[in-house]
């Protein structure tokens, strides 16, 4: 299996036929935001219309090589709508970043839930000396969907500017159930004019000191942005839990997250762009840990080079600390900038109950199946109302080995398990991933990929 040749399934749609004619014969090509269908059933937030590889090729990842036929990099470097599905499990050690670079590189889905066994972890070789050491970079691109992958750099803290994931100047991006850790910069970084972005159900842990950061949501934008940071976990990062800095008329929401064991700062709200940062914090749980300094606040306006006051909406958030630590929800100098209504209507639904958010994300966030690092993170967080454990790191942790495993049977090469195709209107003897669309607009492939995600979270995988 590790050296098997790549197999692609091509679905051809008659380019001159009108949409109604295609629907009449059971073929509908759904590409780009005009299709007005979500990235997958249950997608939420400002990135939910990311189309990914919908309607395009199914490209199998059949080895763990850095590059070449059958590699993940080979799928990413293709153009046109495409869906990377995994026919093996393991750790992919890269020689430089995976770059989804440019307009032609968009329309991409990377679907880690298709991998058997313990799934897929990506890292960059610690011996790599080039400038691009972040495992995944999305650059000047659009319509990208990434699900159920782990990104774990292994560089010492002397190597600067390594993120786990970077999204730069890109639009319609959805990151779902990913895990990132041990970055020497941010574990997640939204840089430049990135907008229509959702980061959801993900775990970002143990950014490496000296520059230990969870997430940077507003970094050198050029105009208003729409960003949802929804139902994630930040654990044992020094600060930027998260860091925001946006133009007026942006819609930025940080909702239903769990922020644990920040040392120096939780939410940092800069306001250096014209008009000032508008932002909503709703339903988040801020839990102090052993590394958390006494006296810090969950929400803090940083007035460095402020261009205008921020507008901060805060509701249904909880801050908890063990005995001996005194913390506040809103810093005293931030209180004047708390507003009564959200700057934008909330786009992703919120539980409006921080304890329910805590339970939801500890049960369901991160790439599944969870690896040794994520399982440890969850143990360190501990139960609601009880002290946790853990500490900040000065060096990366160890990547757990992943044993070979058999993928589900997919004789027709359409990415879907043969055993479940019929329930979603597909034929296991025909490559028909996008041939059948239900009344709501979902293809058989859409349903099968969401079913696989649910199965992985439940601890199951098809034969």
Task: Examine the pLDDT at 16 and tell me if it is beyond 70.
Answer: no
Average pLDDT, stretch 357-368? Answer: 98
Task: Examine the pLDDT at 23 and tell me if it is beyond 90.
Answer: no
DSSP letter for 229, please: E
3-state secondary structure of 201: coil
Residue with tokens 């044993």: 403
Task: Examine the pLDDT at 35 and tell me if it is beyond 90.
Answer: no
What percentage of residues in the chain have a pLDDT greater than 70? 92
> 124 pLDDT band (50/70/90 cuts)?
very high
More confident residue, 25 or 402: 402
Task: Examine the pLDDT at 400 and tell me if it is beyond 70.
Answer: yes
Topology (CATH) of 8-450:
Pectate Lyase C-like (2.160.20)
Number of Cβ within 10 Å of residue 262's Cβ equals 28
User: Residue 428: exposed, middle, or buried by beta-carbon count in 10 A (0-12, 13-18, 19+)?
Assistant: middle
Average pLDDT, stretch 96-123? Answer: 98
Measured distance CA(180)–CA(399) in Å, rounded: 12
The tens digit of pLDDT for each residue in 413-457 reads: 999 999 999 999 999 999 999 999 999 999 999 999 999 999 999
Average pLDDT, stretch 59-65? Answer: 98
Backbone phi, psi, residue 114, to 5°: -80, -15
What are the sequence ranges of the domains in the chain? 8-450
Task: Examine the pLDDT at 10 and tell me if it is beyond 80.
Answer: no
> What's the pLDDT score for residue 36?
63
> 14 pLDDT band (50/70/90 cuts)?
very low
Rg value, the chain, Cα: 21
Closest CA to 226 of 191, 195, 192: 195
Average pLDDT, stretch 180-184? Answer: 98
User: Residue 27: exposed, middle, or buried by beta-carbon count in 10 A (0-12, 13-18, 19+)?
Assistant: buried
Residue with tokens 């339903």: 283
Task: Examine the pLDDT at 90 and tell me if it is beyond 60.
Answer: yes
DSSP letters along 309-367, please? --EEEEES-EEE--TT---EEE-GGGGGGEESS-SS--SS---S-HHHHHHHHHHH-SS
> What's the pLDDT score for residue 450?
98
Query: Taking CA 321 as the corner, what is the angle to CA 211 and CA 256, rounded to the nearest 5 degrees?
Result: 70
> What's the pLDDT score for residue 463?
87
Side-chain-side CA neighbours of 278 within 13 Å: the count stands at 19
> What's the pLDDT score for residue 18?
33
Return mean pLDDT, the chain: 93
């Amino acid at each position: 299996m590790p050296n098997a040749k790549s197999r692609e399934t091509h679905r051809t749609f008659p380019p001159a036929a009108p949409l109604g004619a295609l629907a009449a014969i059971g073929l509908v090509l759904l590409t780009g935001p005009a299709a007005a269908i979500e990235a997958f059933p249950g997608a939420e937030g400002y990135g939910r219309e990311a189309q990914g590889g919908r309607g395009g090729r199914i490209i199998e990842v059949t080895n763990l090589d850095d590059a070449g036929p059958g590699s993940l990099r080979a799928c990413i470097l293709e153009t046109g709508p495409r869906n990377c599905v995994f026919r093996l499990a393991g750790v992919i050690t890269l020689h430089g970043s995976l770059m989804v670079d440019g307009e032609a590189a968009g329309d991409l889905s990377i679907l880690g839930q298709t991998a058997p066994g313990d799934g897929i972890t990506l890292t960059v070789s610690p011996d790599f000396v080039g400038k691009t050491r972040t495992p995944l970079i999305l650059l000047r691109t659009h319509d990208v969907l990434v699900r159920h992958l782990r990104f774990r750099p292994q560089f010492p803290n002397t190597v600067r500017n390594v993120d786990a994931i970077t999204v730069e100047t890109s639009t319609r991006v959805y990151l779902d159930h990913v895990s990132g850790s041990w970055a020497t910069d941010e574990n997640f970084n939204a840089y430049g004019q990135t907008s229509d972005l959702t980061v959801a159900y993900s775990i970002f842990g143990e950014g490496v000191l000296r520059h230990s950061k969870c997430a940077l949501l507003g970094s050198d934008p050029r105009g208003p942005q729409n960003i949802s940071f929804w139902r994630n976990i930040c654990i044992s990062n020094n600060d930027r839990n998260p860091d925001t800095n946006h133009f007026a008329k942006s819609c930025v929401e940080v909702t239903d997250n769990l922020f644990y064991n920040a040392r120096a700062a939780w939410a940092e709200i800069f306001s250096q762009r014209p008009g000032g940062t508008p932002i909503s914090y709703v339903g988040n749980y801020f839990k102090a840990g052993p590394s958390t300094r006494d006296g810090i606040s969950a929400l803090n306006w940083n007035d460095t080079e402020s261009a205008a006051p921020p507008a901060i909406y805060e509701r249904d958030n909880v801050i908890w600390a063990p005995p001996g630590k005194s913390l506040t929800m809103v810093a005293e100098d931030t209180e004047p900038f708390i507003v009564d209504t959200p700057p934008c209507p909330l786009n992703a639904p919120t539980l409006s109950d921080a304890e329910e958010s805590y339970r939801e994300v500890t049960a369901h966030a991160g790439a599944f199946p969870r690896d040794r690092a994520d399982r440890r993170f969850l143990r360190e967080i501990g139960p609601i109302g009880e002290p946790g454990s853990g500490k900040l790191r000065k060096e990366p942790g160890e990547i757990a080995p992943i044993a070979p495993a058999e993928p589900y049977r997919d004789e027709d090469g359409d990415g879907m398990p043969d055993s479940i195709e019929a329930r979603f209107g597909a034929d296991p003897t025909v490559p028909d991933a996008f041939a059948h669309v239900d009344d709501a607009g979902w293809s058989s492939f859409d349903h099968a990929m969401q079913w696989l995600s649910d199965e992985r979270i439940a601890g199951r995988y098809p034969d």
